[in-house]
A and B are shown apart, each in its own frame.
Chain A
């Protein structure tokens, strides 16, 4: 389907949602909504959290997901990896904890040399791969080297490549991994939390795409690209046996069909599906399914390409930002279910977030445009049905910016080629990213000069210097201050307008217990099903 997964470590996310018939699906949802309103009340509130409790041991969790391309693979390093499977099959050296900090996974502890160039990871003992082989530092070293191998073409190579080369990764003994960096970096461990960094057995690069051998809580029973797959519990998993006996994945192209499957009790969870509000209300009102809300799970952006007219002029960019009212955009596009972004891409629940913001000022925007010789600015804003929020966001922006004398023409592009033809090509469009990644990776990958996912093509030496300073700074508090300075720099000078952070609305069965999401991966170990009475 519309596979635009090159969006890297967590670009905008459900990358290949079925879109051609999205309009039909929405209509269908509206029909269902009317059908259900008699019992549920027209304004059914969307539930906020998934149920927790003690699940029944065992059970089968059935997950519907949008079909990816026929070329998808279980190789975690690949840009075409089937990432719904990854968290169940594999473990990383380190992961992001619920508090947003780097937490142990296969590595129990890590430390750097005083100058921040040599990193030593102590690895967990008594971990085995699904094929019975013991996990050792050789596997970890192989995995890291492979990430920067140009042959593998991993999206993570752009992040790690500038920092290390394959020769600088060593395994001095069974339980130790040493990585020599080319420049000091005290944020380095956070860069290994990306979903491309799952550990695979040494030498398995050729077979991992279909084999899926990892150290995760589930092992692979079957897998078909863009089709069905089945995983079974791995009893020897180092964290203990998972609650569930098995997980089955099904491919369902249409979002409405996925919703119907959940409502009819054919599946328990809709993965990679951020539901629109109408559908979410229908699901909340049903007796069989509910909504699990993932707070601030994604941020919505209107990136201005700083290399294209009229955004080459920083005054025009500033005017565009001053012109709109984030509260109004939030209200229209998300019906208020989110928080304002104030052009800062770091989510408010991130440990290094700063509350810096610039108040809306249409008059100042008007003056800036006049100064730049761009009075009566007229600009195309591209959107698509790729995500249900894009178009409402664009229209809300248009209305808001009109008060500053800016005329915005909203243009709808084809959804299945949106990320290849519009994004990073047109001067102004609508897009979004998943949150839940370390601040260093996010700022470096999306805002640093020349980075592959720098969607605004913004290039600012002062900003890059702040990031370099932060990486060189050992003191955590001081480093945090530098990342906050960097955020202010983005708000004042950057090309991205970030009106809001949105909750992700995930459809799950009422029988599912302990659904927890960190970033866009969930807790496969503790998720389970309610005991049937």
Chain B
């Protein structure tokens, strides 16, 4: 058990370190650097050279990378090359905004998908199942920006009840951002729900065919009671992993959706950083994304282990 956790932590750390290296290399490969990007074309070669020296861009790439890693390990992600503000503060603010979307998305998606998944599983191959499965198949195949655009068309333009874009800045109070959270969250939740529904449906079908369900039926329990008290906890187990993967996906899917809604979250910050070649911001976001990804997976695995004694023993016997 402990060896397993240790191994997982080690691979997690490797993943994060690798992602930092890859992002650094990718940005090096981009045409243009921050000095030319900030100063524009009117800049004299001397001005560009001066700015490059000031930002240490004239140092070898490997040396800059090591210096960055050293500081990052102490929690210092440096200052943004374009705004001059602290990267940690900037990333923190945008992450807060994205988390707002993420929380709403995850709650909506999990609730909706489990209800729909259970219904589909119970009414297997009958019309409620066919409808839910069909719609979720469409939800899976349509990219999130299309869903987002359709939602805007429906709920901001045709029936104007929600704002189409966010005009607030990253530092706006949460209460100001709240009306703008629903559309992005819905767009992401549609795609996420579609995935989890399929998983939940299969689980419910498996579990309902199990012996303990038959026993429960023989005891005279009603279908809904069997589902909520017995089948659901078992059905949720494999779903957990899918949910964790989806939360990790959320971090990347949010880039596109935030752009459509001009939402001042981590995705938008990342896009800006790519445009302006703002390496410190980009690296911080990359490491953070890798961290979220890894933590979600780890949590899913450990959660599954805690809930399922069989998995625990199997792990012990192989380690």
Contact = CB atoms under 8 A, between A and B. Distances in A.
A53 interface: no
A20 B275 contact: yes
Nearest to A36: B153
B260 A35 contact: no
A62 B164 CA distance: 15
Given A4-B40, A70-B276, A31 B256 contact: no
A28 B157 contact: no
A417 B150 CA distance: 32
B43 interface: yes
A153 B44 CA distance: 8
Nearest to A248: B167
B149 interface: yes
* SS of A interface (majority): loop
Contact of B167 (A18, A70, A266, A452): A266
B239 interface: no
Interface string A64-86: 10010111000000011000000
A378 to B, nearest CB: 24
A260 B41 contact: no
Interface in A240-299: 250, 252-254, 256-258, 260-261, 263-267, 286
Contact of B82 (A4, A70, A228): A70
A495 interface: no
B166 to A, nearest CB: 9
Contacts of A253: 259, 262, 268, 271-272
Contacts of A266: 163-165, 167
A191 B167 CA distance: 37
B157 to A, nearest CB: 5
Contacts of B31: 414, 417, 420-421
Interface stretch (A5-13, A106-114, A350-358, A393-401): A5-13
Interface in A1-58: 1-8, 18, 20-21, 24, 27-28, 31-32, 35
B71 interface: no
A227 interface: yes
Contact of B165 (A3, A5, A261): A261
A416 interface: yes
Contact of A264 (B80, B160, B276): B160
Contacts of A31: 146, 149-150, 153
A266 B157 CA distance: 10
Given A70-B83, A227-B169, A260 B32 contact: no
Contact of A20 (B84, B164, B262, B271): B271
A103 interface: no
B255 to A, nearest CB: 9
A69 B276 contact: yes
Contacts of A21: 145, 256, 259, 271
Given A28-B146, A266-B164, A417-B31, A6 B272 contact: no
Contacts of A69: 37-38, 40, 82, 276
B40 A79 contact: yes
A98 to B, nearest CB: 29
Contacts of B47: 153
Contacts of B195: none
A3 B40 contact: yes
Nearest to A254: B259
A264 B256 contact: no
Instruction: Select the residue from B84, B150, B262, B271 with max chain A CB neighbours within 10 A.
Output: B262
A80 B40 contact: yes
B241 interface: no
Contacts of B164: 257, 260-261, 263-264, 266
A494 B308 CA distance: 78
Nearest to B32: A417
A5 B41 CA distance: 7
Contacts of B30: 417
A232 to B, nearest CB: 18
Contact of A254 (B153, B167, B262, B275): B262
A195 interface: no
Contact of B152 (A27, A62, A226, A264): A264
B156 interface: yes
B32 A421 contact: yes
B97 to A, nearest CB: 14
B254 to A, nearest CB: 13
Instruction: Select the residue from B84, B160, B169, B259 with max chain A CB neighbours within 10 A.
Output: B259
30 contacts: A1-B275, A3-B37, A3-B276, A5-B40, A6-B41, A7-B41, A8-B42, A20-B275, A24-B145, A24-B259, A28-B145, A35-B153, A69-B37, A70-B80, A70-B82, A153-B42, A224-B169, A228-B169, A253-B259, A253-B268, A254-B260, A257-B262, A260-B152, A260-B156, A260-B157, A261-B164, A264-B152, A266-B165, A266-B167, A417-B31
Interface of B: 30-32, 36-44, 47, 80, 82-84, 145-146, 149-150, 152-153, 156-157, 160, 163-165, 167, 169, 256, 259-262, 268, 271-272, 274-276
Given A253-B262, A253-B268, A256-B260, 11 more contacts: A6-B40, A20-B271, A70-B80, A80-B40, A155-B42, A227-B169, A264-B165, A286-B157, A416-B32, A417-B30, A420-B36
